[in-house]
Structure 1
Amino acid sequence: MIENRRGLTIFSHTMLILGIAVILFPLYVAFVAATLDDRAVFETPMTLLPGTQLLENIKTIWVNGVGVNSAPFWLMMLNSFIMAFSITVGKITVSMLSAFAIVWFRFPLRNLFFWMIFITPDAAG
């Protein structure tokens, strides 16, 4: 049975809005920090109003990296793409070969291996 109480609805929506605010506030602070210059980011307390340095900061990170001895951002992104693509191709290949073996070959404990593969979370590897 569904209850339609006005107080419960208001409370539920208030809690949802507060939850969204708790989740989005750190993202907003990160965005504001990205728009400020170095000095303004480390002031205590940091301002919550966006600055004007966003494009300059993005250009600096993209070309020079985040520190003195760090790689440029584009190189880190390329590395991440290559790793993600390689892992994806590898997982799909292993999954296809496992599925082929389980479907077409008869071997002891075949059902056990099927269920072990089936119930293992995909994000585990």
Structure 2
Amino acid sequence: MTHANLMNNYFDPNSVYTEEDFRRRFRMRRHVFERLLRDVQQVNLYFQQKRDRACHPSFSPHQKVTVALRMMAYGSPVDSMDETHGMFESTCLDTFEEIVQVYKDEYLRGLN
């Protein structure tokens, strides 16, 4: 899924899918996703879109957060993200880890 598709389907003002579709697919409301996206962008430069060596845009922050949330919400294996989102396993794992680091103190409890 490219950035343009993702934006057109879920985030643009006249998006293809409704708020209810968004909630069902992302397992959260759109405003929660957008708050999470802002939070991770503020604390980590990893979530700002850059250009690769060939001057092509890298994965957008929306794409990175979407992949990490789908892995969490659905328990999707990392290697399936390459097939469905075109994102390598290492990028998926890095993204997942970066989001966990932002929220771990607030939402994750230690093991006893």
When normalised by structure 2's length, the TM-score is 0.22
* Richer in helix (by share): 1
When normalised by structure 1's length, the TM-score is 0.20
